[in-house]
Amino acid sequence: MTVYRYWAITLMLVLAAVFAGCAPVATPGASTPESAAESAPEAADLLSEITARGVLRISTDPAYPPQSELVEDAAPPADTKCAGDERPANQFTGFDIDVAVELAHRLGVEPCFVTPDWTLVIGGNWAGRWDISVGSVTITPERMQALFFAQPYYTTPAAFFVHSDSTRTALEELSGASVGVCAGCTYESYLDGTLEIPGETITVAVSDVAITGYDTDTSALQDLTLGDGLRLDAVLTALPTGQAFVASGNPIRQLGEPVFFEYLAPAIDRNSTADPRSFLDAVTEHVQAMHADGALKALSEQYYGDDLATPAAAFDLAQLEQ
């Protein structure tokens, strides 16, 4: 064997040993790509997250009586888990608030409220900033693109209101009038002829109105009180909201009969950062139980003097195809 061949063979043996040392070595118990996939944790579950944190984050409107209203100067309880911009239940009052509180209690957690803009609520993609809206959200096909809906907890009629000085006596006389509504609400969709509500047939009773959008219904009603035709000729809102405004001594009155009825339900983000399905099922189960044991009927009669809850118990969730 020549010296050249000797060194060539030696170099080949050394390189083989080096590359052999670089090969992965199986270790007992170590995960392979297949076993790692099998052991990967399941996607986060929203109901489990809520239960673990002990808090249900609820979006609501701070100025929508008698459904929801902020209580000024109410000090938070010392033991509240509400943090950041969340507010404890004692800082709000209203029908929606009491429904949300009862729902949270049945889930075994503390209710904490936030007050995002209405358009953010119905637009979905909440990014985990709140878990649910118990804010009188009407079920519509358009909103179902962004939100899941649980069993409705009540129904409400929608009605027109005018200033007490108005000479109008019939809905037909609103043609060409300026009408205030909350922007993005069902009342705006009704006026522009696009409103759809599962299980309802919608007939628009007025035409050719000039629509003015507001941040919330009460802002529109406040403008109406300034005078007949000064800023608005009429406001379309939930009948209980308008009646509460009348009862507070404001110079407005109802015009005609209600023009449509809507189903209002807890809403949950379809694009929740955690899987919302089990949470949706739990909310529906608790709302149905609140119908069955009379809790919702009692709250409706307390705030509205009428049973607006019972018709919502008959709503067929199969219409939603969620």
pLDDT tens for each residue of 259-296: 999 999 999 999 999 999 999 999 999 999 999 999 99
- pLDDT, average across residues 140-167: 96
Question: What proportion of the chain, given as a percentage, has pLDDT over 90?
Answer: 82
86 near 57, Cβ under 8 Å? yes
The mean per-residue pLDDT over the stretch 287-316 comes to: 97
- Give me the pLDDT at residue 90, please: 98
Q: Look at the block and give the residue holding tokens 């909350």.
A: 182
Q: Is the pLDDT of residue 171 over 80?
A: yes
Instruction: In whole angstroms, give the CA distance from residue 130 to residue 115.
Output: 10
- Confidence grade of residue 225 (pLDDT, cut at 50, 70, 90): very high
Q: Tell me if 116 sits within 8 A of 171, measured CB to CB.
A: no
pLDDT of residue 40: 37
Q: 247: exposed, middle or buried (C-beta count within 10 Å: 0-12, 13-18, 19+)? A: exposed
Domains, in order of start, for the chain: 46-155+263-319 (3.40.190.10), 156-262 (3.40.190.10)
**Spatial contact of 253 and 193, defined as CB atoms under 8 Å apart:** no
Across the range 29-40, mean pLDDT stands at 40
Structure tokens at 170: 């019939």
Cα(184)–Cα(166) distance, integer angstroms: 27
Rounded average pLDDT over 295-303: 97
Nearest alpha carbon to residue 235 among 170, 191, 169, 184:
191
Q: For residue 38, what pLDDT band results from cuts at 50, 70 and 90?
A: very low
Name every residue whose Cβ is closer than 8 Å to that of residue 68 and which is 6 or more positions away in sequence. Answer: 60, 61, 62, 92, 93, 94, 95, 96, 97, 135, 136
Under the banding of pLDDT at 50, 70 and 90, the label for residue 322 is confident
Given a cut of 70, whether residue 30 has pLDDT beyond it is: no
> Is residue 8's pLDDT more than 50?
no
Confidence of residue 199 (pLDDT cuts 50, 70, 90): confident
Q: Which residue has the higher pLDDT, 228 or 30?
A: 228
Q: For the packed helices 295-304 and 95-107, what is the interaxial angle rounded to 10 degrees?
A: 160
| Helix%, strand%, coil% for the chain, nearest 5 | 35, 25, 40
- pTM equals 0.78
Mean pLDDT estimate for the chain: 88
Largest Cα–Cα distance in the chain? Answer: 121
**Residue 22: pLDDT band with limits 50, 70, 90:** very low
Is residue 33's pLDDT more than 70?
Answer: no
Cβ neighbours around 235 below 10 Å, total: 32
Rg (CA), the chain: 29
Q: Distance between CA atoms of 192 and 211, rounded to whole angstroms?
A: 8
Count of CB atoms within 10 A of residue 64's CB?
24
Residue with tokens 């076993």: 35
Confidence of residue 10 (pLDDT cuts 50, 70, 90): very low
Higher pLDDT, 28 or 172: 172
